[in-house]
Amino acid sequence: MGFRDEAAAHFHKALKLRPDYPEARENFYRVANWLVERWHFLMLNDHGRNLKYQQAIHKAVQNGCNTVLDIGTGTGILSMCAKKAGASEVYACELSKTMYELACEVVTANGMDGSINILHKKSLEMDVPTDIPHRVSLVVTETVDAGLFGEGIIESLIHAWHHLLLPPKSDESEFQEVSSTGRVIPAGATVFCMAIESLEIRRHHRLCVTQVGGLSMAVAGELRSPVSCCSEPDDSMEPYTTERLSRLPGGYRPLTQPFTALTIDFNNVHELEGLSSREVQEMCLPVTQEGQLHALAVWFQLHLDKENSLSTGPQEDTCWEQAIYPIHSTTCFVLKPQDKLIVEVSCQDAYLRLNSVAVLRDSYKIHLDKHVELQHPGKPIPNPSPEAELCDALASLQTNHNRPENVCILECSEMALLNNQDYHQSFCSALSKLISRLTVKKQNQEKECAMFAPDSSLFHILDVSEGFSLLSLIAAHQGDVKAYSSVKKNKQQEVLRRLAQSNGISEQHIKFWLNHTEDEQSVLQRPSQEKLWSAIILDCVETCGLIRQKLMEKASLARCLLEEEGHIFPEKIVVYGMLVESDTLLLESAVQGREPTLGFNIAPFINQFTVPVHVFLDFSTLECRHLSEALELFVLDLMDGSANYTNREVKVQAITAGRITAIPFWYHIYLDQEISVSTLNQNSHWKQAAVVLQEPLEVQAGDWVHLAVKIHESTISISAHIKNTPEQMD
């Protein structure tokens, strides 16, 4: 219902009341990421970052900044640095309730509860003397996201300069006392941008195929992800997404040098205020490598003070991701060396906006949204080849006739799913096999009883996939099928209707199931009184890599609603896993090591929010050592309820010595006995999940590792132990 944090807080409370209640534990693990985001662990584990902030704060306090406000304190680490550096008054604010409570616990545990005053507030709601008695001489903050401005630092600092900070040091009076002037750590930032080619990014943001499972997509209209900085500001739109470029599956290719898109001085309130009224700046980026323009990548350098700075660049060894501004034009434009890419940089509603508008090639300006114009009208075209090239370039640009009503926004994972041809082809083949089999059966029956009822000549197929799915259309496209889609959103239903019509599927053969049923409980029903389903398509794995909740309940319900020889897609799911040593996964799961963080006791408190299963992982690019072969962990038989067990012991031999820190897992989804899709597939819209072991397990090559695998309410848990001595062997 959207009350995410409230729900998460209640699971947390339930678990505190009864730590041995498995349902509360599983629910809590599923939502803990909402209360305490995983990057807190990364940041606290980033010793370089911690040290630089500590040094900058220490220096500022030593130089006379005696009163400090920490905006967005998180675990309280920067406030404690300020106190330790000798600040006489330290205030902190934090808008998240969970983080605020955590900060209070941490500060108390470090004996500073009397000397750091923490408020559960957004800094914008603070005032003097209501919240703090007087203006402070130092604001410290790390309220920046991968795109720098996404956490609202500009607005927070403008407000702080007006209401919470002493006036800045003025240029004229060199001898102003530091304790009577205000300043900010970080002092400023430089934002960089670079054009890149990445198929992985492209397939998550726009349609890259013309055919999906035998359906022509020509009239689909414009389907694209909600990440776009050029469209009208709207709640569902984000200007950028984030990726760790160094871990992008398939890698990326830089097409230009990094260039400076923006510099900002956080100690200059006029500059902060002027940012949104700053004119749109046109940047000209020389193209250095040939490639398709898929995205602009953005990162920044955070200048803590004159000496210290942090970089979030793709080459750095840091915890930071980069901001990704995808390019939406449907067909790909190939940039060539000697081209110049023109990018408009602006700063509307406190977000950095980037818009790649045109390419300069020879003496032409090719606008990336449609027309070509001569840069120097009247100048003769030097030779015919640039013109030919221009025509090619033009042909590859889709002249976009899509009116806004033909634009349909899908989630990034839904876009990737649409672009996954293997997945749709597998369904197409499996459905066609089933229909042939049922047709033969029906013909035999008809011969036997010489009966013929017109509507019963159709097979009824129900697709209960979550979100946007073409599977019902693919089913209806088989002929003799009346398919029911669970797609709920009007725009998406329209797309399906358009596709049905253009692919020769009669309106009678595609229905929207949820238009008929009011409550979610009755999603799985009979198509009509006398009829049972020939097939039910269940969506069994979430994009994040976990099995969908209630999957087995849905399957057993579905089994009751199938006609004889009817089929559930998929019929079986096999869970695979592998033993790995991965420090990266540990760093994202908990604050590591027994050493206190910058001398403070923080880990035990934040580590209460550690979860045993890590989601949204790219196993193909995860930095890790494989300590075993891939092995089968579990089988879920959706066609046979009696075959399901919840506990299983599997043995696997270590192929090399190391520390088992995690067991990534993925699925082979069997549509029928022969046809399967793997969630590890290169073009998959699925990510992987991994069980992260709380205590790493040392193994030698040849050791037998026993895994106790448990599935409870669709949640997998795994524990590992070594059995080497003969009496321990089974």
578 binds ligand 44T (CB under 6 A): no
Cβ nearer to ligand 44T, comparing 408 with 606: 606
Least gap, CB of 666 to ligand 44T (angstroms):
23
Cβ nearer to ligand 44T, comparing 140 with 166: 140
How many helices (H) and strands (E) are present in the chain, helices listed first?
Answer: 17, 39
| Closest-CA residue to 197 (of 248, 255, 247) | 255
Q: How far is CA 674 from CA 358, 427, 644, in A?
A: 49, 12, 21
72 binds ligand 44T (CB under 6 A): yes
Give buried/exposed letters for 355-383 (b at 16+ CB in 10 A, else e).
bbbbbbbbebbbebeeebeeeeeeeeeee
- Which tokens is 356 given? 């790649």
Residue nearest to ligand 44T (CB): 72
Cα separation of 187 and 265, whole Å?
A: 6
142 binds ligand 44T (CB under 6 A): yes
Least gap, CB of 621 to ligand 44T (angstroms):
15
Chain position carrying tokens 């305490």 = 36
Site string for ligand 44T, 272-311 (x = CB under 6 A): ----------------------------------------
Least gap, CB of 320 to ligand 44T (angstroms):
5
Per CB under 6 A, the list member of 99, 139, 499, 568 interacting with ligand 44T is 99
Site string for ligand 44T, 144-183 (x = CB under 6 A): -xx----xx---x---------------------------
Least gap, CB of 250 to ligand 44T (angstroms):
20
Per CB under 6 A, the list member of 107, 319, 471, 718 interacting with ligand 44T is 319
Within a 13 Å sphere around the CA of 672, how many CA atoms are in the beta-carbon half?
Answer: 17
Cα separation of 325 and 636, whole Å?
A: 40
CA-angle at 484, arms to 481 and 490, nearest 5°: 135
- Which tokens is 228 given? 């776009």
List, as one string, the DSSP characters of 683-730.
Answer: T-S--EEEEEEEEEEEE-TTPEEEEEEEEETTEEEEEEEE--SGGG--
Reply yes or no: is the peptide bond before residue 129 cis, omega within 30 of 0.
yes
124 binds ligand 44T (CB under 6 A): yes
List, as one string, the DSSP characters of 171-195.
Answer: SS-TT--GGGSBEEES-EEEEEEEE
Least gap, CB of 72 to ligand 44T (angstroms):
2
39 binds ligand 44T (CB under 6 A): yes
Cα separation of 127 and 131, whole Å?
A: 6
Stated as kind and residue range, the H or E segment containing 648 is strand 647-653
Per CB under 6 A, the list member of 45, 79, 110, 123 interacting with ligand 44T is 123
Least gap, CB of 95 to ligand 44T (angstroms):
4
List, as one string, the DSSP characters of 61-88.
Answer: HHTT--EEEEES-TTTHHHHHHHHTT-S
Q: Which stretch binds ligand 44T (CB under 6 A): 139-147, 492-500, 570-578, 640-648?
A: 139-147
Per CB under 6 A, the list member of 45, 54, 79, 96 interacting with ligand 44T is 96
Q: Which stretch binds ligand 44T (CB under 6 A): 37-45, 128-136, 427-435, 621-629?
A: 37-45
Cβ nearer to ligand 44T, comparing 143 with 478: 143
Least gap, CB of 37 to ligand 44T (angstroms):
7
- Running DSSP on this structure, what letter comes out for residue 380? P
Q: Which stretch binds ligand 44T (CB under 6 A): 71-79, 233-241, 517-525, 671-679?
A: 71-79
Residues that bind ligand 44T (CB under 6 A): 39, 42-43, 71-72, 74, 93-96, 99, 122-124, 142-143, 145-146, 151-152, 156, 319-321
